[in-house]
Amino acid sequence: MTEHTLTVAGVAVDPRHWIGGERVASAGTFTDVSPVDGRALGEIARGTPAEAVAAVAAAKAAFPAWAATPRAERARILHAIADGVEERLEELAIVETTDNGALLRSHRRGVMPRVAHNFRFFADRSLTLDHEDFETRGHTNHVSWDPAGPCVLITPWNAPLMLATWKIAPALAAGNTVVLKPAEWSPLTASLLADIAAEAGLPAGVLNVVQGYGSEIGDALTSHPDVRRISFTGSVPTARRIAASAAPHLTPLSLELGGKSPLLVFADADLDLAVDLAVEQYDNAGQVCLAATRILVEETVAEEFTRRFAEKAGALVQGDPREEATDIGPTIHPRQLEKIDGFVRRAVEAGARAVVGGHRVEERYYAPTLLTGVAQDSEIVQEEVFGPVLTLQTFADEDEAVRLADDTRFGLAATLVTGDRERADRVAGRLTAGTVWVNCFFVRDLRAPFGGSRHSGVGREGGTWSFDFYCDLKNTVTAPKGWNGHG
């Protein structure tokens, strides 16, 4: 333990950057505050463009050797990182809960095991990257995935380590080097990951972590001429700024942005299942990009659905996320809480009715909320709230359901509940969404493509699609003759 180390929930965390295999301080700091109790956790190094440029330089310097490292050796190191995550799972879980307020039980049972799985899956997948050779007039075509170079990865605060490693693991497995910029509201587990990666034998400079505000260091990272890939998860306005910054160098982008996803409930659905899936949208206090925040219910069952929903939502336990019985924890930050409350207040003023919730709970919580009487073109239906706020609308038939579902600028996901398989296939085919769940929610397989349509994103990651993004694909065409200089 050094003089710089913070102690967070009994765990030592270094608040400095990780650049070129060393801890690097900044002249300034910012205060990291826990949403659990509002307590200051410590002062975090506040990056400047100088640290951002240094991190890219370290990634560039480390790239040739890491790119030349055999895939099997890279995979071995990624598995060692996964081992380290599993060994420190409890520490990672409690630190992340303290830092971002998500449920400790979820971090223990789902999120941190997924972090380890991210490394294992992409490590193994890199070893199977292959495309069958094919011939053109006797010439052989051979497709290969070549490492692209230094990658800048910018990640959000709602699932910090899981979403960071969803990007880091394939980038490293592909042979690239990484500069990670974690969200300033939840930076701590990124720092712990840097320690774990170093202990696992990841060479210096292959993974770098720069903390701070995007407004202060973002452009230095995304406009840098040596950066070969940028992957960002966050808001549409920030994505526009990143795209503009990357444009002069034509740096390829992968953007996973917001959502305003629908949940369609047909009259032939299992209503208990539909209610369960709807209430599940309050997961992580509604701070989930995939959440189906627009509930669309066939009008003949809407009254019964609403009654059952209100009963089930009313039984949810809101409180300390470290407690096993808690279902909904706090909102990440007072600024986010104010944003959520503003959305609801304006909706009610416009004529909406809060069937469930509709108000703050103490200083750090927002009550699970369901609003009815909302217009399709209203702000509350069209804009992402990113909090525990759902709307309920009704539809008369399948055509109206699809029209309402697709009538936003987003297209990240959709969920539909029906007892008719033919209808499920028909409606799923008509919906604009990167992922459609039928009679289920949040079932994710790393082999599948993930991303959004329209304003919900650009590109797909997951499975081979991740390597398609993080690599330069090459086709080598070889003539059947001519090895000795003669035809």
Each residue's pLDDT tens digit, 309-356: 999 999 999 999 999 999 999 999 999 999 999 999 999 999 999 999
How far apart CA 326 and CA 25 sit, in angstroms, is: 37
Q: Give the rounded percent of residues in the chain with a pLDDT score beyond 70.
A: 98
In a domain, 328, yes or no: yes
In a domain, 481, yes or no: no
How far apart CA 325 and CA 309 sit, in angstroms, is: 20
Q: Are residues 210 and 87 in the same domain?
A: yes
In a domain, 446, yes or no: no
Q: Which of 472, 282, 303, 298 is nearest to 386 (CA)?
A: 282
Q: Are residues 224 and 324 in the same domain?
A: no
Between the alpha carbon of residue 254 and those of residues 392, 460, 485, the distances in Å are 32, 7, 44
In a domain, 99, yes or no: yes
Q: What is the pLDDT of residue 487?
A: 52
Question: CATH number of the domain that 40 lies in?
Answer: 3.40.605.10
Supply the angle between the helices 89-100 and 112-126 in degrees, to the nearest 10: 120
Residues 6+ apart with CB under 8 A from 289: 158, 233, 256, 257, 258, 259, 384, 386, 412
Q: Are residues 211 and 357 in the same domain?
A: no
* Structure confidence by residue, pLDDT tens digits, 176-195: 999 999 999 999 999 999 99
Q: Are residues 395 and 460 in the same domain?
A: no
* Structure confidence by residue, pLDDT tens digits, 130-148: 999 999 999 999 999 999 9
Average pLDDT (85-98) is 98
In a domain, 443, yes or no: no
91, 96, 289, 471: which is the annotated catalytic residue?
289
Reply yes or no on whether 440 is catalytic: no
Average pLDDT (80-90) is 98
Question: CATH number of the domain that 296 lies in?
Answer: 3.40.309.10
Q: What is the pLDDT of residue 382?
A: 97
How far apart CA 392 and CA 381 sit, in angstroms, is: 9
In a domain, 342, yes or no: yes
Q: Is the pLDDT reported for residue 290 higher than 90?
A: yes
Q: What is the pLDDT of residue 2?
A: 56
Q: Are residues 335 and 248 in the same domain?
A: no
In a domain, 128, yes or no: yes
Task: Report the number of distinct structural domains present in the chain.
Answer: 2
Q: What is the pLDDT of residue 484?
A: 66
By the 10 Å C-beta count (0-12 exposed, 13-18 middle, 19+ buried), 422 is classed as exposed
In a domain, 447, yes or no: no
The mean pLDDT value of the chain amounts to 96
The total of other beta-carbon atoms located within 10 Å of residue 314's CB is 11
Q: What is the pLDDT of residue 481?
A: 77
Average pLDDT (62-74) is 98
Average pLDDT (153-178) is 97
91, 96, 256, 298: which is the annotated catalytic residue?
256
- Helix and strand totals (H; E) in the chain: 16, 24
Q: Give the rounded percent of residues in the chain with a pLDDT score beyond 90.
A: 97
Q: Are residues 281 and 429 in the same domain?
A: yes
SS3 string, 11-36, reads: EEECCCEEECCEEECCCEEEEEECCC
Q: Are residues 244 and 329 in the same domain?
A: no
How far apart CA 448 and CA 462 sit, in angstroms, is: 6
Q: Are residues 305 and 285 in the same domain?
A: yes
Q: Are residues 251 and 375 in the same domain?
A: no
Which helix or strand (DSSP H or E) is residue 348 part of? Answer: helix 334-349
Q: Residue 80 in contact with residue 94, Cβ under 8 Å? A: no
How far apart CA 3 and CA 310 sit, in angstroms, is: 51
Which backbone phi and psi does 280 adopt, to 5 degrees? -60, -20
Q: Residue 315 in contact with residue 309, Cβ under 8 Å? A: no
Q: What is the pLDDT of residue 482?
A: 67
Q: Are residues 299 and 170 in the same domain?
A: no
Average pLDDT (463-487) is 86
* Structure confidence by residue, pLDDT tens digits, 362-406: 889 999 999 999 999 999 999 999 999 999 999 999 999 999 999
Q: Is the pLDDT reported for residue 162 higher than 50?
A: yes
* Structure confidence by residue, pLDDT tens digits, 217-252: 999 999 999 999 999 999 999 999 999 999 999 999
Average pLDDT (250-256) is 97
Q: What angle do CA 40, 44, 45 make, to 5 degrees?
A: 160
* Helix residue spans in 88-205 (DSSP H): 89-100, 104-106, 112-126, 160-173, 188-199
Q: What is the pLDDT of residue 362?
A: 86
Q: What is the pLDDT of residue 1?
A: 47
Q: Are residues 296 and 277 in the same domain?
A: yes
Domain extent for 186? 6-257+452-475
Reply yes or no on whether 323 is catalytic: no
How far apart CA 428 and CA 313 sit, in angstroms, is: 27
Q: Are residues 238 and 372 in the same domain?
A: no
